[in-house]
Amino acid sequence: MNLQANTFDLTDFQNTLEDSTWVLTEPAFDPAGQNHKETVFTIGNGYLCVRGDFEEGYPGNAPACFIHRIWDDMPVNFTELANIPRWWGVDIWINDVRFRMDRGQVLSYHRRLDLRTGVLSRTLRWRPAPDGPIVELHFERFTSLANPHVAATRVQVQVVEGEAALRLRTGLNAHVDNTGLLHWQLLDQEQTPDKARLQVRTRSTGIDLALTAIVDTQSTVPWSVGTCDADGQPAVERRATLRDGESLTLDKFVGVVSGNESADPVREASAMAQKAATQGYATLRAASDAEWARYWEASDVVVEGDIEAQLALRFNIFQLLIAAPRHTDRASIGAKTLSGLGYRHHVFWDTESFMLPLFTFTQPALARNMLMYRWHNLPGAREKAQTNGYEGAQFPWESAGDGSEVTPIWGTSATDRRQLIRIWTGDIEIHITADIAYGAMQYWRVTGDDTWMRDYGAEIVLAGAKFWASAAQLEDDGKYHFRNVVGPDEYHDRIDDNAFTNALAQWHLATALDLLVWLKQTYPARNAELKANLDLNESRLAHWADVSSRMYLPEDPETGLIEQFTGYFDLIDADVAALRDPARTESMPQLLGIEGCAATQIIKQPDVLMLQYLLVERFSPEQVQINYEYYNPRTDHEYGSSLGPSISAIMACRVGDRAAGYEHFMRAARADLLDVRHNASDGIHGASAGGLWQAAVLGFAGLRIHDNGWEIHPQLPDGWTRLAFKFYYRGKLESVDIRTEG
Amino acid sequence: MNLQANTFDLTDFQNTLEDSTWVLTEPAFDPAGQNHKETVFTIGNGYLCVRGDFEEGYPGNAPACFIHRIWDDMPVNFTELANIPRWWGVDIWINDVRFRMDRGQVLSYHRRLDLRTGVLSRTLRWRPAPDGPIVELHFERFTSLANPHVAATRVQVQVVEGEAALRLRTGLNAHVDNTGLLHWQLLDQEQTPDKARLQVRTRSTGIDLALTAIVDTQSTVPWSVGTCDADGQPAVERRATLRDGESLTLDKFVGVVSGNESADPVREASAMAQKAATQGYATLRAASDAEWARYWEASDVVVEGDIEAQLALRFNIFQLLIAAPRHTDRASIGAKTLSGLGYRHHVFWDTESFMLPLFTFTQPALARNMLMYRWHNLPGAREKAQTNGYEGAQFPWESAGDGSEVTPIWGTSATDRRQLIRIWTGDIEIHITADIAYGAMQYWRVTGDDTWMRDYGAEIVLAGAKFWASAAQLEDDGKYHFRNVVGPDEYHDRIDDNAFTNALAQWHLATALDLLVWLKQTYPARNAELKANLDLNESRLAHWADVSSRMYLPEDPETGLIEQFTGYFDLIDADVAALRDPARTESMPQLLGIEGCAATQIIKQPDVLMLQYLLVERFSPEQVQINYEYYNPRTDHEYGSSLGPSISAIMACRVGDRAAGYEHFMRAARADLLDVRHNASDGIHGASAGGLWQAAVLGFAGLRIHDNGWEIHPQLPDGWTRLAFKFYYRGKLESVDIRTEG
């Protein structure tokens, strides 16, 4: 079943029998893969996420912890989430030797992430010097899913052999950065033998953040206490002498509150930490674990007959669950979740088109939060439309705190520093406005949340439709066009009449008109209000209908083959041999140059197939087939967009090519776990993770939603004996359990 | 004598009678002027310079210490000197209240910088709380001029009233940044009760830096010792209880060595610190003071009858002396010296045209270092010429570690972030190649250092001439032109035939040909070698002569008025009233817009007058007069280039306008001391400082050098009763002492 056993394997994540489908296990540490593993071992609770770096540090590590909404200014990319002060660090000295895994001798090692509870733990035996004692160290950390502002760590030191003078220091460290850029100024700190407190403020945006850490020590031997009050590094200390079998355990309870959530974050953070410390480690864990069980009850996908696929599905679902804002509706999930610095936490179409369905189907309250983020940011979208000379709301290609456009405008050429490369996506990758409307409509269709659609969703859809109608250009051929755009396939930019964009715009306008009919029937007052507020007079609506009905779509009337954009078929045909060369390790633009690749039909992701995936009712099976056969071989599946493989998997299922479907599925499954794209150190590929769920549920199970029910069209990969999952349909938790003989 | 008493005054720097012309004194601290004063109170020793921030810190402070040659990468400006770990910080607690001047009550305050010795000191009385004790704190710091790798601080705490529990912590702090950008990674640290050690490495360039601090404590009362080993902050601690009159003194001896100077900086830095500690504070001071006396013996300029001018001259000379590389010939002085982040320590024409003469005349060994920096960087200049399609050596407009061009290429518009502003100076402000040759020729002429000219200077001049000849374009008018350039007046860029550039190029080529004649006569072997290495065949030299003789120069044959560049006289004439409006607080491009100002004849600095200043023998007094009268009123003296006033002062002397000369002179004198340009916080205006010396010596005294002697043409400002200075002429220290009745 392992398609490319020589290239990929899971030896890094060998699992013990009892929890092989729930626990990622690392039996040995390889420094070369350190930053990849930090991403993989990211844990979180929808408020904050922390990368899986070692508590004691390691040369070349990239520790980071991000909290939703703590944006601060930066050059080029405008804004990013500030890496918050390090609350999980622990300094350990054994006989005055500072513990680190590149020092002394590591005698055994074991790291595990339990996806059921989000607990990351590590157990190892270490000897500081050849003649020194042997100690067993156990580290544990988790963020509470029961209280978003609480995290905890546990450190256990036990002497296995000899006598050890133990010194243990832990606290809060404000000396953190985003790859060399400082975001914090230190406001205040405090340290007592049992507590460390830190108050910092972002340098540009002035957001306050308070952290309090309270420690609880347990040991059968006496210990002494101390503090460290170095600027920015308040910490507590413990010293003890341990002999064979003796141990010391230190539990640390951390409260984290920002000015975004509280008028008095210092007081709140201290109260949170104090409450957690009073509850104790076990109670805190139990409350969090219970919440995790509720998460998994709805969101788990069970696969039998394919352990790798099973574990990958759970891992990818886990990574999205921890990143989804649970306690605010003014944040959403960035392209690389909260697990790294890639794309600086900006929110793209990745969110609505790839990640949102998992939430819409299994955690609708979180889907609602993510859609509300867009509604709150309508002013930014309206401003963008206005700046560009359009009406309505044009959502930004990259969105951060306030919904203004934060796509970088210029990049520097890798070969000539005088040459700047204009990044056009922020200006002309306009399809995102329809993608967001699609996400809103899908949420409504699946959940039946009429109240939300009335109060919020309708405004998103209608304001977006207004943008499309104002941007479409009626030309001499009697058709409406969108010229100078970028479609999902970003290997070709500044193109005319991208089929995906035009068809989604057409769908968006038609959908908006339908929505108005529904509103008028169901909520006439709100209908009138929205029509007045958005100036939706009859002539404007007639124009919408006209644009929708006369949208230009480059479709061959005989074969049904869709030209991705005007002139695409005139480009040099793709060199499929080069594209499929197993020795290739770079994307096609890296190999051919940006202009060189743009001159060919090689595409970054299946642009036309994505359109056929979304607007499923618009295309006949034959038309899907012919387009799949044309575009699939011309796609840079390996190093193009990480968004592609899951969609390719679904479309392969649609045309009945289960083997190809599984190959695409596994490519998405391995994006982060096996770092097949060589950039997982920047963070989790959120769209790939969300697409993986879609590929399993909407692809292999073939789940389709109707206005009054749902159906499945299973096409399980060879070897899969079971595929089971749940989802909410109109408020009710539905179960699907598909079993075959594999 | 104080021309604008209402605008400028020196009350900030009131001086006691005995040392009023040597000591900058600050009788009260104003937080609003903190960053300006940090620049003013910069001290250094030609290896490192440290800004005058408070040892204990203050909100909004901008501490920094820079060492020549420790370049590290940064965005946009490519490279800058890394702010080194803070070695001068001291944390003091009195009865558990952390001392800072915005806390408790400051009862008296006094800060002084003794320009004779470069010692910065501060004495103040402080009470931590209304019912607390009163302590007198005395801080002193200096960098040794006798050993560039050694600095020292002294802290004295004396109880004036009551009883004080004193805690004192001092060490080394690696948590420093360049305005939010981190340049260091921590390699190692160590702390004992008497010593702190730190080893760091620049993040991009991999330069190691080691610091060791050794402390010596003196007190009549017992004290306890401790350490702090927080990461990046090794420190020693002292605790004592002091009562009325009792005191504790802590001397700290710091050794600083980088990988640029030593293969084992850790060992060297420790040895330096240890040696200094063994010598003790007084001995270390004495050795440094003696070196300072030698500096001042040659470089002092004495003015009587004008205390402000006297102090300003010494201050500006001081700031250049501390920044000039003494112990390396692979560094030079950046536009803002080593005192701040302005222009990121890049070296411009400011160095050779404005700062170098002070050194050429009074510290020729340092002038030689600075010129050798250019010689070492000839490969960068050759590469720049080649990249641009020219021959020979084209020096970079902005130069850093290796002489490659490091001028930023793009700036962001203040009004529209999508708009980038192309910065053209790095491409086309080509006159710097002639400016450097001029500096080399002046050095040779003044010092008579034939050996240097043979071995190094000739190559600079000849390689530069090769560039000019290859860049000059012969056009249909039978003249050679330089089109699309920027002259010294940067209010007008991308212009044709800048008179300054063309005339300097002409001079450069003619000078190079003369130099070859001298070389052939004096050092025939070297002449042959250079001709072979630089491919200076007869046809090439004939071309040089042709370019030089047929260089286009836009000069009115009747009046002698020079057009600054082609088309300048067609521009809108300057609005002199707006230019001279005393209420103006911005530069003219800020008021009119960059394009708006470029459409006028308003100039940033006296471009044509600078030409007449440098090529003094080329222009008749009448021609100087007519050009002075034309350009002086059209110059943005107030907020244009800080390079302008000193040159305007000299040219005013040439035309006999002593009052104007003094006004220009004082504008330069006050640039940093009184922050008249509102940007002294970014660092010392090095060109203004160097120009001030030129204005006094080459302007008011009218010193002129000939091939066999020198003469003076004194034109002292009203009120000046004496102007005296020394300079080296052909290795001999000459004295000038001009006395008048004022």
Tell me the C-alpha distance between A344 and A74, whole Å.
10
Tell me the C-alpha distance between A710 and A697, whole Å.
12
Please determine, for residue B695, whether its predicted confidence score (pLDDT) is greater than 60. yes
Give me the pLDDT at residue A18, please. 45
Q: Quick check: A235 and A172 in contact, CB under 8 A?
A: yes
Which residues, 6+ apart, have CB-to-CB distance to B628 below 8 Å?
B609, B651, B652, B654, B655, B657
Of B78, B182, B232, the CB nearest to A182: B182
Which residue's entry shows tokens 């984290």? Answer: A256
Q: Nearest Cα to B87, choosing from B228, B191, B234?
A: B234
Of A76, A181, A231, the CB nearest to B180: A181
C-alpha triplet A454, A514, A557: angle, nearest 5°: 145
Judge whether A140 counts as a catalytic residue: no
| Domain boundaries along the sequence of chain A | 41-296
* Single-letter amino acid, residue B709: G
Q: Quick check: A725 and A701 in contact, CB under 8 A?
A: yes
Q: What is the pLDDT of residues B489-521, one digit of tens each?
A: 999 999 999 999 999 999 999 999 999 999 999
Of A182, A228, A418, the CB nearest to B180: A182
Of B182, B203, B230, the CB nearest to A233: B230
Chain A residues inside the 8 Å CB shell of B234: none
* Contact residues, chain B to chain A, C-beta under 8 Å: 75-76, 78, 91, 173, 175, 177, 180-183, 203, 228, 230-233, 235, 409-410, 417-418, 420
Alpha-carbon torsion, ordered A8, A14, A18, A21, to 10 deg:
-30
User: pLDDT grade, residue A204 (50/70/90)?
Assistant: very high
Chain A residues inside the 8 Å CB shell of B237: none
> Spelled out in words, what is the top-level CATH class assigned to the domain A41-296?
mainly beta
Tell me the C-alpha distance between B429 and A742, whole Å.
74
Whether residues B175 and A175 touch (CB distance < 8 A) is answered with yes
Partners of B411 in the beta sheet?
B421
Tell me the average pLDDT across B234-243: 98
Nearest CA to CA, how far is A418 from chain B (Å)?
6
Please determine, for residue A26, whether its predicted confidence score (pLDDT) is greater than 60. yes
ipTM for the assembly: 0.91
Which residue's entry shows tokens 């061959």? Answer: A556
User: pLDDT grade, residue A346 (50/70/90)?
Assistant: very high
Chain B residues inside the 8 Å CB shell of A417: 78, 409
Give me the pLDDT at residue B1, please. 30
**A-B interface: how many C-beta pairs under 8 angstroms?**
48
* Contact residues, chain A to chain B, C-beta under 8 Å: 75-76, 78, 91, 173, 175, 177, 180-183, 203, 228, 230-233, 235, 409-410, 417-418, 420
Of B76, B182, B228, the CB nearest to A177: B182
Q: What is the pLDDT of residues A570-629, one digit of tens each?
A: 999 988 888 989 999 889 999 999 999 999 999 999 999 999 999 999 999 999 999 999
Query: Choosing among B229, B387, B397, which should be mutated to test the A contact, i.e. which has the most A CBs within 10 A?
Result: B229
Chain A residues inside the 8 Å CB shell of B182: 177, 180-182
Please determine, for residue A523, whether its predicted confidence score (pLDDT) is greater than 60. yes
Q: What is the pLDDT of residues B284-319, one digit of tens each?
A: 999 999 999 999 999 999 999 999 999 999 999 999
Catalytic annotation, pick one of B268, B308, B490, B663: B490
Chain A residues inside the 8 Å CB shell of B79: none
How distant, in Å, are the alpha carbons of A102, A404, B106 from that of A386? 56, 12, 55
Whether residues A177 and B175 touch (CB distance < 8 A) is answered with no
Tell me the C-alpha distance between B736 and B307, whole Å.
19
Whether residues A410 and B420 touch (CB distance < 8 A) is answered with yes
Catalytic annotation, pick one of A26, A80, A490, A563: A490
Chain B residues inside the 8 Å CB shell of A228: 228, 230
Nearest CA to CA, how far is B203 from chain A (Å)?
9
Q: What is the pLDDT of residues B603-614, one digit of tens each?
A: 999 999 999 999
Q: Quick check: B354 and B645 in contact, CB under 8 A?
A: no
Cα torsion angle, B602, B605, B607, B608, sign: positive
Which residue's entry shows tokens 């300006």? Answer: B36
Q: Which residue has the higher pLDDT, B16 or A335?
A: A335
Q: What is the pLDDT of residues B331-384, one digit of tens each?
A: 999 999 999 999 999 999 999 999 999 999 999 999 999 999 999 999 999 999
Q: What is the mean pLDDT of chain B?
A: 95
Partners of B124 in the beta sheet?
B109, B137
Which DSSP helix (H) or strand (E) runs through A711?
Answer: strand A709-711
Which residue's entry shows tokens 């010391």? Answer: A248
Give me the pLDDT at residue A742, please. 57
Is the full-model pTM beyond 0.90? yes
Nearest CA in chain B to A427: B418
Please determine, for residue A14, whether its predicted confidence score (pLDDT) is greater than 80. no
DSSP codes of every residue in A421-481: EE--HHHH-TTHHHHHHHHHHHHHHHH--HHHIIIIIHHHHHHHHHHHHHH-EE-TTS-EE
Please determine, for residue B471, whether its predicted confidence score (pLDDT) is greater than 60. yes
CB count within 10 Å of CB A473 equals: 11
Q: What are phi and psi for residue A89, nearest 5 degrees?
A: -75, 145
Q: Quick check: B603 and B489 in contact, CB under 8 A?
A: yes
Which residues, 6+ apart, have CB-to-CB distance to B339 below 8 Å?
B39, B42, B44, B49, B51, B319, B323, B683, B684
Q: Quick check: B48 and B67 in contact, CB under 8 A?
A: yes
Please determine, for residue A65, whether its predicted confidence score (pLDDT) is greater than 70. yes
CATH number corresponding to B377-593: 1.50.10.10
The B184-192 sheet, strands edge to edge: B23-26, B105-114, B119-127, B134-143, B150-161, B247-258, B208-219, B195-202, B184-192
Alpha-carbon torsion, ordered B240, B244, B246, B247, to 10 deg:
70
